[in-house]
């Protein structure tokens, strides 16, 4: 049970619910112990022909009353134990999701979505089973075993009781041996299920790519292979279950064999009455279930412990990016940005993504960043947002190292439109107002949509701004997604606005209109425009040109054209492309 120590706070908070549940469970067990005594009395009266109609009705009423008490007790222990186990499931799932939200970007780069989904569903369900039905079974196993044995010894015959429990040590030994194997195989089942979930999730997310490349058959084979691994892992576990349960039942049945042979002999000899024998058989029936429950509970607890280990492993993860002890109490930022000799390589990479980068963006000015694909442009933004830590150089905002600015303050004051343009599967309205916890005025949403030139598209939809988007916003075109993401950043009214190639999917005329609209938005705030198109950045206060992680040119548009370098090459190629496309 060491795996469940991390749930100590939950157990402390809900201890009375568990204790009340166990109390009612024991009440049910005690009442069940009374039934064999009623049967004993009725059998003995019947044997000596002293059972009358009135006494038969009386004992029948006793049986009905015990049934009512057992029914009531079962209702309450289910409410308290099983109900609390569902509260536990709710608690763990919330805690896991909250913890995942604190982890850094790099954690999600290294861990698959399907695997994390399996943790949040299957693993947590197994933990609930261990701490719901598992507690019921272990309580029954302990209490009923002891109580049934006491009743067998004190109300019937001690020698018969000793004979009946001879198989128990063998049962305990069998359970111990099988438990370790079940634990290991349960862990393999969970891991294979995670792989299967990840395979399915990735396929569904990329279904358009799969279909466009006509790779359905290959993906089916890939899924079948993963599914087969999951099947094999489950069969491996089922085989041990298939062997485990019959062995437990066989050992339990030996007790019946002993009782029928030896107990029958005692009845014939007159050592015990027929009523005693019937009561003893009834107690043995009550004892067999706990003996079986020990087997079930070992299985459930082992599988629950394996799942709890997996959850604990995630909960033990620490965020790589966090507020340090020397963080300053800064609630807002002015917007001045400076990179000083920054070099950076991504985790587990030996190549530098950035090499000795230095530049300064004064408050209220606009910086344009251009360069070939993979030259390090987007890396600049990920470092400014502190999605990764740097070890070489320094990044300053308002003259303060970003590591000393609270993460909440830094990111709240930056409006960022990424290349990904991720949209949630909610309404367009909710996507645009995503940065706000409370509901905002529709006029603000409309204004942001108008600036980003997506308003006219949205109002053409039947449900307008209440239109629900598909997964990742697939119901919108690429250009509409970009402009909706742009509206989401604009509405924040941030001190720093960053557009990372966020107009690449719109035509040049729409881009020009958006840039004209953005002039008012960009005024008096710091702006960073990353683009492949020169037209996006040509009016910037300064432009830096990246190539292979280095700044190879810097200046304004006219100066860079005159240098006849990389910037000029990109510019001329784009002019040529425009001429060709206009013919």
Instruction: From the options 3.30.530.20, 3.40.50.10490, 3.40.50.300, 3.90.1150.10, give the CATH code of 419-493.
Output: 3.40.50.300
pLDDT at 68: 92
Distance CA 560, CA 369 (A): 12
DSSP state, residue 539: T
Q: What are phi and psi of 395, to 5 degrees?
A: -115, 125
Question: Closest by alpha carbon to 377, among 522, 269, 508, 531?
Answer: 531
pLDDT of residue 582: 58
pLDDT (mean) for 203-227: 73
What percent of the chain lies above the pLDDT cut of 70?
A: 90
Classified as helix, coil or strand, 470 is coil
The whole-number pLDDT of residue 20 equals 92
Highest mean pLDDT among 53-67, 193-207, 277-291: 53-67
Question: Is 156's pLDDT higher than 80?
Answer: no
Percent helix, strand, coil in the chain, to 5, is 65, 10, 25
> Which residues touch 180 (CB under 8 Å, ≥6 apart)?
none
What is the arithmetic mean of pLDDT over 235-248?
78
Region 559-574 average pLDDT = 83
In the predicted structure, residue 471 carries a pLDDT above the cut 70: no
What is the sign, positive or negative, of the torsion defined by CA atoms of 40, 43, 49, 52? Answer: positive
The larger pLDDT score, comparing residue 542 to residue 193, is at: 542
> Which of 51, 33, 32, 31 minimizes the C-alpha distance to 41?
51
Burial label for 309, CB within 10 Å (0-12, 13-18, 19+), is middle
Q: In what order do the strands lie in the sheet with 354-361?
A: 354-361, 337-344, 392-397, 400-401
Label residue 75 by pLDDT band (50, 70, 90).
Answer: very high
The predicted structure's pLDDT at residue 213: 58
Report how far residue 466's alpha carbon sits from residue 459's, in angstroms, rounded to the nearest whole number.
Answer: 10
Instruction: Tell me the C-alpha distance between 190 and 434, whole Å.
Output: 35
| Three-class SS state of 387 | coil
DSSP string, 415-442: EEE-SS----SSBHHHHHTTT-SS---H
Rounded to the nearest 5°, which phi and psi values hold at 434?
-55, -30
pLDDT value, residue 212: 58
Tell me which of 70 and 469 has the higher pLDDT: 70
Q: Which residue has the higher pLDDT, 403 or 191?
A: 403
- Stretch (H or E) spanning 371: strand 366-371
pLDDT recorded at residue 172: 66
Place of tokens 């002890």: 325
Asked if residues 167 and 251 have their Cβ atoms less than 8 Å apart, the reply is: yes
pLDDT of residue 534: 82
Same CATH topology for 2-200+232-315 and 334-413+497-505+526-577?
A: no
Q: How many whole angstroms separate alpha carbon 319 and alpha carbon 104? A: 5
**Predicted confidence band at 448 (pLDDT cuts at 50, 70, 90)?**
confident
Can you tell me the mean pLDDT for 171-192? 73
Domains of the chain by residue range: 2-200+232-315, 334-413+497-505+526-577, 419-493
- Judged against a pLDDT cut of 70, whether residue 474 lies above it is answered with no
- Lowest-pLDDT choice from 48-52, 330-334, 421-425: 48-52
Q: Quick one: average pLDDT of 246-253? A: 76
Q: Is the pLDDT reported for residue 518 higher than 80?
A: no
Does pTM surpass 0.75? no
pLDDT at position 72, please?
Answer: 92
- Average of pLDDT values for 38-43? 74
Highest mean pLDDT among 39-48, 236-245, 284-293, 524-533: 524-533
Whole-Å CA distances, 170 to 73, 165, 248, 259, 490: 33, 10, 9, 17, 72
Q: Say if residue 539's pLDDT is above 60.
A: yes
Contact indicator for 168, 242 with CB cutoff of 8 Å: no
Could you list the beta-strand ranges (E) of 193-347: 337-344
Distance CA 131, CA 4 (A): 9
Specify whether the CB–CB gap between 485 and 502 falls below 8 A. Answer: yes
How much is the average pLDDT of 275-291?
Answer: 71
State which fold the 2-200+232-315 domain adopts.
Answer: ABC transporter transmembrane region fold (1.20.1560)
**Residues 226, 220: Cα–Cα separation, whole Å:** 10
DSSP 3: G
* Res. 533: pLDDT tops 70: yes
User: How is residue 324 annotated by DSSP?
Assistant: -
333: pLDDT confidence band, cut at 50, 70 and 90? confident
Instruction: Report how far residue 542's alpha carbon sits from residue 366's, in angstroms, rounded to the nearest whole number.
Output: 7
pLDDT recorded at residue 67: 87
Tokens, residue 228: 């087969």
For residue 267, pLDDT beyond 80 = no
Token pair for 109: 């780069």
How far is the C-alpha of 382 from the C-alpha of 346, rounded, in Å?
11
Between 52 and 357, whose confidence is greater? 357
Q: Residue 106, exposed/middle/buried by CB under 10 A (0-12, 13-18, 19+)?
A: middle
CB atoms within 10 A of CB 373: 8
Q: What CATH topology corresponds to 334-413+497-505+526-577?
A: Rossmann fold (3.40.50)
Torsional sign, CA 121, 126, 129, 131: negative
User: DSSP for 38-82?
Assistant: HHHHHHHHHHTT---HHHHHHHHHHHHHHHHHHHHHHHHHIIIII
Q: Which residues contact 424 (CB under 8 A, 6 or more apart)?
A: 430, 431, 434, 469, 473
Encode pLDDT of 343-388 as tens digits: 988 887 788 888 988 888 888 888 888 888 888 888 888 888 888 8
CA dihedral 530→534→536→537, nearest 10 degrees, is 70
């Amino acid at each position: 049970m060491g795996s469940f120590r991390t749930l100590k706070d939950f157990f402390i908070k809900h201890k009375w619910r568990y204790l009340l549940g166990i109390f009612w469970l024991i009440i049910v067990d005690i009442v069940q112990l009374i039934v064999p005594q009623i049967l004993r009395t009725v059998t003995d009266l019947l044997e000596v022909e002293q059972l009358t109609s009135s006494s038969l009705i009386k004992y029948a009423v006793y049986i009905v009353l015990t049934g009512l008490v057992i029914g009531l007790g079962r209702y309450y222990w289910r409410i308290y134990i099983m109900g609390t186990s569902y509260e536990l499931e709710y608690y763990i799932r919330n805690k896991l999701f909250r913890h995942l939200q604190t982890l850094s970007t790099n954690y999600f780069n290294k861990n698959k979505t399907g695997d994390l989904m399996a943790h949040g569903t299957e693993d947590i369900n197994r933990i609930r089973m261990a701490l719901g039905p598992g507690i019921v079974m272990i309580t029954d196993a302990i209490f009923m075993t002891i109580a049934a044995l006491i009743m067998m010894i004190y109300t019937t015959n001690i020698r018969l009781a000793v004979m009946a429990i001879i198989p128990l040590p063998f049962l305990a030994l069998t359970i111990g041996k099988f438990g370790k194997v079940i634990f290991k195989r349960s862990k393999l089942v969970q891991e294979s299920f995670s792989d299967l979930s990840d395979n399915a999730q990735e396929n569904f997310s990329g279904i358009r790519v799969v279909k466009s490349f006509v790779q359905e058959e290959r993906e089916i084979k890939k899924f079948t292979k993963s599914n087969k691994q999951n099947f094999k892992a489950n069969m491996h576990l089922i085989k041990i279950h298939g062997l485990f349960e019959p062995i437990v039942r066989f050992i339990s049945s030996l007790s019946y064999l002993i009782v029928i042979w030896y107990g029958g002999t005692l009845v014939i000899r007159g050592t015990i009455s027929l009523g005693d024998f019937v009561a003893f058989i009834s107690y043995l029936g009550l004892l067999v279930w706990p003996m079986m429950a020990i087997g079930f509970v070992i299985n459930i607890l082992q599988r629950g412990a394996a799942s709890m280990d997996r959850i604990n492993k995630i909960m033990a993860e620490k965020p790589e990016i966090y507020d340090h002890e020397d963080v300053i109490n800064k609630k807002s930022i002015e917007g001045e940005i400076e990179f000083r000799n920054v070099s950076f390589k991504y985790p587990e990479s030996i190549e530098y993504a950035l090499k000795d980068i230095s530049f300064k963006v004064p408050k209220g000015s606009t910086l344009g960043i251009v360069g070939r694909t993979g030259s390090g442009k987007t890396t600049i933004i990920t470092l400014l947002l502190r999605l990764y830590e740097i070890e070489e150089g320094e990044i300053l905002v308002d003259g303060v190292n970003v590591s000393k600015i609270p993460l909440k303050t830094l990111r709240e004051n930056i409006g960022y439109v990424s290349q990904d343009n991720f949209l949630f599967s909610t309404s367009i309205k909710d996507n645009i107002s995503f940065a706000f916890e409370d509901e905002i005025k529709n006029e603000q949403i409309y204004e942001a949509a108008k600036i980003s030139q997506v308003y006219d598209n949205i109002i053409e939809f039947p449900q307008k701004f209440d239109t629900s988007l598909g997964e990742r916003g697939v119901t919108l075109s690429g250009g509409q997604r970009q402009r909706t993401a742009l509206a989401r950043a604009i509405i924040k009214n941030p001190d720093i606005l960053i557009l990372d190639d966020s107009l690449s999917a719109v035509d040049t005329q729409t881009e020009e209109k958006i840039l004209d609209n953005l002039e008012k938005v960009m005024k008096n705030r710091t702006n960073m425009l990353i683009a492949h198109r020169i037209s996006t950045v040509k009016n910037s206060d300064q432009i830096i040109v990246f190539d292979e992680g280095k700044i190879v040119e810097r200046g304004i548009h006219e100066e860079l054209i005159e240098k006849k370098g990389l910037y000029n090459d990109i510019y001329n190629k784009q002019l040529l492309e425009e001429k060709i496309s206009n013919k």
